[in-house]
A and B are shown apart, each in its own frame.
Chain A
């Protein structure tokens, strides 16, 4: 076994700024700083794995201490002026104390003493704090370079004391370029398409790309062909994916399952297949629109195949499939039997209703609606305005029975004598007597379950009845004292309640009933529960006992839900200059 062999990732670790792939924004800044002698005493390099953080730190250390290239990057640590340590194994306060001690000692030769601290996010909080003082005012000769993949875990007090550089993921083209150069150096023959496969799979990390290249060389030898590469890297080829999509088109679950069965037994990874499938679907989606075909990274022949297959599915369908697949990708990560989840997902794809049949279904539904015109509306009301229902228990009962019949056409006598209270459902020890039908009945009961929580303030009614009217009040009177009233609430009632009252508006006066408008059912509930207390305080202001009643005004709410999030976002922008500023200056986007 050769002793000289060294993984490509280590062999080709750059030794100068020029060698570092991508990240020009960092290297040029650093080079300028060196040229103008304006080095900061602390840097923080952040970014995903394998983009060159540690490498950049080493190059910087090398350049400012003028260490020549005969010294290997990995043995920099053995030179006296560079100290590389990982914070994960030295994360305690004592380690930081030790570091502080050693910082005081000036470099033996050379100008700077460079401390490279990798994985700095793993330092304990105490260790971070112990470091703060040193970091802010270190001796002239000390330079700290921190590298981390998770900058959000670093204390803000640290972040504010360092110059931070964010490394970006490396673009496919740049990786390809670098790989090509290495292939020439290593005397390996590899075609362009294979380089692309490697670069794409590396997902923006050069280290991954080199690792994959290593793997490919070990597998294929000096000549890497596309076909062998796919095998070496365990990438599912497009022809298999086309085959699968054909099964989806034909709704042929049998063949689809057989296909993935063989795939799995050949040793392909489930995640790998899903990643491939997601990209495949994306390509099909794009192929729908031929001018965009250049966005598909594939050979001409494959592109033709894409356009041909694309017409089998509508864009909406492809979009939905894409959703299903990407959801499955997340779910599979912590499934205990990934294979089953995988199969279910594929069956879902195969049996997914296509848009055409859905449209048919929708029109049928419309027909149905006409026949049972008022039923669906009733259900809606039941959930939206439960308090209304509570007042009319008789009609509710009837409606419920109607619904029952809608679900189950044959007459069901058992339902009527079902007086059980709704609440003690699903008692664990319930005997086996519960039948399917009663279950259903309970499920239907459920929407009104909420209705119980709106107690009509009966007791107050009686109190107020005695309170004879002294003078005729109108709503304007209430509005006039409303501000004072709000002030009087201050510190007298729970803050939560006060806020809710502030947000509510006195709407109208109905005899001695003051009707408040509020915008959600939570506020409504809260106000009604505290109605008595609130009206007592109102009496202090206006001299008359008023009953409080809250109403949810949801026309504004309806409006806003009807619009899609983007439109709402736009509206918020128009309303709020601060948000608009954020959007204009920083390109803030909606995340939901």
Chain B
């Protein structure tokens, strides 16, 4: 089978594409694959395209003579089942709706956590998603019992398997190791390391890399019809996350970045009034995922400072629109302890996830930054750190 895998839609990932192409060619198709990679690099899209290629659907990849199915995509095909982790409250209908979106574009963001409501993008509800045991027992396992209907194999795709609870994962092991002859699994995950070793040991691993800015840029221009200028800017700040970048509004993004620079400035000058206003603003307009995204932006900016300080190479700076402020920052604050600042950001993410008030967290962070930016230790009494960051215990 000599095909161009995913040539219609999949972006970048030359290495992984080649791996899959050769695998299809050799005809040695295993019973379980695990696709891992950073978020937005196209894991789900790859899984879908692989399922289609195996069942001969001419949709995401151009199959030519190998087309065996008359179905237009994976979505209506009876032998391809896609499962996504869900919050306990969500029903099958809601999942169906999301899959329909996914069928329109394989890079669509459909996770309940990142997009709590598909109609209202401004929604800031917090949803926890996972694979509950009964979801597995009532939905996924029955799907594995079917014989292929019209295709070659029944393909079960499960996304974000790192959200799988231990109980579910253990119950899954037997099925994953020895599925019936014409059944295969394709799992996707963002963190290969956090999966049970018993799961990873049963799968063949297909790692995806971070997309290069060039790939993202091409994708944005060719598929999403962005102007070259916007695309090149977005690609640069995307951090290889194509799926997210498509939804970015350039002006909004720039605004976010500016507010982060503003935050750092306020932290330095310790302007409590302005700071608390900004923090309040952040808290009220974001859900947890949004706040995490903010910390990511902040981390990225500090990383830029770090890299620029070390190398003075403008090419390595991600936030190219903030280059001026980066330069100024680096020249003005020579003994800023950037590494410690990044560590601080790292430590607050846990707290954000544990529902500590974002306003308090960011205020405290600013106080610590003000010390770190001057190269001094932040003042945290060791035996009374609860006073410093309320409601948090390690």
A residues with a Cβ closer than 8 A to B are 1-3, 5, 7, 9-10, 48-50, 74, 86-89, 91, 118-119, 121-122, 149, 205, 207-208, 211, 214-215, 217-221, 231-232, 234, 253-254, 257-258, 261, 264-269, 271-272, 332-341, 343-344, 347-348, 350-351, 425-426, 428-432, 434, 436, 439-440, 442-443, 446, 449
If A214-B30, A264-B209 touch, whether A333 touches B191 (CB-CB below 8 Å) is yes
Which residues of B in the span 334-350 have a Cβ within 8 Å of any Cβ on A? 339, 342, 346, 349
Q: How far is the CB of B72 from chain A (nearest CB, A)?
A: 21
Q: Which residue of B lies closest to A202 (CB)?
A: B201
Q: Check B311 against A149 for contact (C-beta < 8 Å).
A: no
Q: Which residues of A contact B271 (CB under 8 A)?
A: 432
Q: Check B30 against A7 for contact (C-beta < 8 Å).
A: yes
Q: Which of B91-99, B124-132, B173-181 contacts A (4 or more CB under 8 A)?
A: B173-181
Q: Check B239 against A337 for contact (C-beta < 8 Å).
A: yes
Q: How far is the CB of B357 from chain A (nearest CB, A)?
A: 11
Q: Check A253 against B28 for contact (C-beta < 8 Å).
A: no
30 contacting pairs across A/B (C-beta < 8 A) = A1-B29, A1-B153, A10-B31, A49-B197, A74-B178, A86-B171, A89-B137, A118-B174, A205-B201, A207-B202, A215-B204, A218-B22, A218-B29, A218-B204, A219-B19, A220-B22, A231-B15, A253-B307, A257-B311, A257-B316, A261-B316, A268-B209, A269-B36, A340-B342, A341-B342, A344-B306, A351-B310, A432-B270, A432-B273, A443-B379
Q: Check B201 against A50 for contact (C-beta < 8 Å).
A: yes
B residues with a Cβ closer than 8 A to A are 13-16, 19, 22-23, 26-31, 36, 38, 54, 137, 152-153, 166-167, 170-174, 177-178, 181-182, 191-194, 197-198, 201-205, 207-210, 212, 239-240, 269-273, 276, 292, 295-296, 299-300, 303, 306-307, 310-311, 313, 316, 339, 342, 346, 349, 360, 363-364, 367, 370-371, 374, 376-377, 379, 381, 387-388
B13, B192, B316, B381: which contacts A446 (Cβ < 8 A)?
A: B381
Q: Check B173 against A266 for contact (C-beta < 8 Å).
A: no
A3, A218, A266, A440: which contacts B181 (Cβ < 8 A)?
A: A3
Q: Which residues of A contact B299 (CB under 8 A)?
A: 337, 340
Q: Which residues of A contact B31 (CB under 8 A)?
A: 7, 10
- Give the secondary structure class of B's interface: helix
- In the bound complex, what is the Cα–Cα distance between A149 and B197 (angstroms)? 10
Q: Check B15 against A86 for contact (C-beta < 8 Å).
A: no
Q: Check B311 against A254 for contact (C-beta < 8 Å).
A: yes
Q: Check A211 against B207 for contact (C-beta < 8 Å).
A: no
If A3-B181, A88-B171, A219-B19 touch, whether A254 touches B313 (CB-CB below 8 Å) is yes
Q: Check A119 against B307 for contact (C-beta < 8 Å).
A: no
If A207-B201, A265-B209, A265-B210 touch, whether A219 touches B23 (CB-CB below 8 Å) is yes
B23, B137, B192, B194: which contacts A334 (Cβ < 8 A)?
A: B194
Q: How far is the CB of B112 from chain A (nearest CB, A)?
A: 18
- In the bound complex, what is the Cα–Cα distance between A431 and B272 (angstroms)? 6
Q: Which residue of A lies closest to B136 (CB)?
A: A89
- In the bound complex, what is the Cα–Cα distance between A343 and B374 (angstroms)? 23
- In the bound complex, what is the Cα–Cα distance between A261 and B315 (angstroms)? 12
Residue among B171, B192, B313 with the highest chain A CB neighbour number at 10 A:
B171
- In the bound complex, what is the Cα–Cα distance between A219 and B26 (angstroms)? 8
Q: Check A1 against B152 for contact (C-beta < 8 Å).
A: yes
- In the bound complex, what is the Cα–Cα distance between A207 and B200 (angstroms)? 10
- In the bound complex, what is the Cα–Cα distance between A257 and B152 (angstroms)? 45
Q: Check B30 against A439 for contact (C-beta < 8 Å).
A: no
Q: Which residue of A lies closest to B28 (CB)?
A: A218
Q: Check A122 against B16 for contact (C-beta < 8 Å).
A: no
If A88-B173, A234-B207, A343-B307 touch, whether A338 touches B38 (CB-CB below 8 Å) is yes
B22, B208, B240: which contacts A219 (Cβ < 8 A)?
A: B22
Q: Which residue of B lies closest to A265 (CB)?
A: B212
Q: Which residues of A contact B300 (CB under 8 A)?
A: 337, 340
Q: Check B381 against A449 for contact (C-beta < 8 Å).
A: yes
- In the bound complex, what is the Cα–Cα distance between A211 and B30 (angstroms)? 9
- In the bound complex, what is the Cα–Cα distance between A341 and B153 (angstroms)? 41
Q: Which residues of A contact B208 (CB under 8 A)?
A: 267
If A1-B54, A89-B171, A122-B171 touch, whether A347 touches B137 (CB-CB below 8 Å) is no
Q: Which residue of A lies closest to B360 (CB)?
A: A428
B54, B270, B310: which contacts A434 (Cβ < 8 A)?
A: B270
Q: How far is the CB of A59 from chain B (nearest CB, A)?
A: 16
If A267-B16, A268-B209, A340-B342 touch, whether A432 touches B269 (CB-CB below 8 Å) is yes
- In the bound complex, what is the Cα–Cα distance between A188 and B58 (angstroms)? 33
Q: Check A347 against B310 for contact (C-beta < 8 Å).
A: yes
- In the bound complex, what is the Cα–Cα distance between A265 and B14 (angstroms)? 9
Q: How far is the CB of A412 from chain B (nearest CB, A)?
A: 14
Q: Which residue of A lies closest to B168 (CB)?
A: A88
Given A214-B28, A219-B19, list of 6 further CB < 8 A pairs? Answer: A218-B28, A231-B15, A234-B205, A340-B299, A429-B276, A439-B376
